[in-house]
Copies of this chain bind each other. A is one copy, B any other.
């Protein structure tokens, strides 16, 4: 048995190495690669992913997982060993359902469709993108057909990002949130303080962003921060985390600060996974929503709080002395939290953000299963957007073309953003029980106890348990929107 388990681990470690090499190739492509390298890089990525996939769906892996069943049953369920066998078996069963040709076809369609989307968005030309969206939907339906039918067909796409989460739960959650968010969005304002226009030079943006994430615990031994067009976080081991950000020079909200904190939240999660899970498929955050809960916890719950701005304000002023002289922490905090109606999800404040997400969740279900033709997507989007956010959509680049996700077939992803927001407040409330003086610590710039609590209670678990098991362990119960609603109401009242 031990030999078989060692053999399983050896195979999974090799597959993990290939995945990490592919992640590095993708990071390099977006951060450092000269443009001439694109064609060869696409081949290299395809080869790495194909070999990793082939090695995983190998029947020998399935046989080992089966043979290890009795041993697994004899182990504690939460042991690393039992978890590795259990989760790998689920992954294997899912991966072997999808024929290699379909997986390759999906990769090809998504890659080409994404390029078509980028051009279409730049030209606000939905008609040019529509045939690609049709192809993406067609291969997605073939993908869905690989699985046993679920209570709700959307369960199958959601499962790719939130294992075992029923669509019905998301619908219930969003049903509770939508009227509250709509009500709170009435606090939206067009107010802008004059200092927000900057100028915000790049070097001090880099310096203050780095200072903040270093204070959070993103140390130089394991983290780097590079510029990119679309910020993201990736990692190639728990001790090699790559954060990326962008440096807008024209507005306070466009500086690298919030985007860097957001990505650092993702990075701290990956960095905190137990070293015993390195080179296994458990060596990463549990799910998209739990990942987002951490990026949003650091970005919003901490990074837009008044104690945080009392700490950061004077530091900001020393980095941007011309712009911020005399502004003070309270006004910076106010600008960081202002509710405003806008067309673009990634620019949205905490209140309206959820409305942007719920709209996408509803439309993608209609596109996939509700008979909404791609021909009518812009109309459907624009109507829903005006109903929800109260703004007319000037063109599709500010409407249904704004996000890359659908071009990549990432249906089921959007709701996890908002579930993450909800979870971030549940987790924070639980953290306050363990670190009751968290606010004072933040105001003093001491994030060690906060980081340690999150690491010891969440990050360390990696992908050992399902999202719902993990949530249960961290917050002592299921997802609950009420703490989040209370948090948002409190914010709006305090800023009112």
Most chain-B Cβ atoms within 10 A of its Cβ — which of A35, A224, A236, A279?
A236
Quick one: which of A13-55 are within 8 Å of B by CB? Answer: 13-14, 17-18, 20-22, 24-25, 28, 32-37, 39-41, 43-44, 46-48, 51
Contact between chains at A44 and B17 (CB < 8 Å)? yes
Pick from A215-223, A294-302, A335-343 the stretch touching chain B: A215-223
Contact between chains at B239 and A34 (CB < 8 Å)? yes
Q: Which B residues are in CB contact (< 8 Å) with A24?
A: 21, 24-25, 28, 44
Where chain A touches its partner, the secondary structure class is: helix
Q: Within 8 Å of chain B (Cβ to Cβ): is A317?
A: no
Q: Which B residues are in CB contact (< 8 Å) with A403?
A: none
Q: Which B residues are in CB contact (< 8 Å) with A236?
A: 37, 40-41, 44
**Copies of this protein, total:** 2
Q: Within 8 Å of chain B (Cβ to Cβ): is A446?
A: no
Quick one: which of A428-442 are within 8 Å of B by CB? Answer: none
In the bound complex, CA of A28 to CA of B237 (Å): 14
Contact between chains at B44 and A20 (CB < 8 Å)? yes
A41 with B237: in contact, given A18-B47, A28-B24, A47-B18 (CB under 8 Å)?
A: yes
Q: Which B residues are in CB contact (< 8 Å) with A33?
A: 240
Q: A223's contact among B14, B28, B34, B41, by CB below 8 Å, is which?
A: B34
Contact between chains at B221 and A36 (CB < 8 Å)? yes
Q: Which B residues are in CB contact (< 8 Å) with A32?
A: 32, 224
A450: min CB distance to chain B, Å: 21
Q: Which B residues are in CB contact (< 8 Å) with A443?
A: none
Q: Which B residues are in CB contact (< 8 Å) with A28?
A: 24, 28
Q: Within 8 Å of chain B (Cβ to Cβ): is A278?
A: yes
In the bound complex, CA of A13 to CA of B37 (Å): 16
Query: What residue in chain B is nearest A221 (Cβ atoms)?
Result: B36
In the bound complex, CA of A237 to CA of B28 (Å): 14
Known contacts A24-B44, A37-B222, A37-B240; can you find 12 more A-B pairs with CB under 8 A? A13-B43, A14-B51, A17-B44, A17-B48, A21-B44, A24-B28, A32-B224, A34-B239, A34-B241, A36-B222, A37-B237, A40-B238
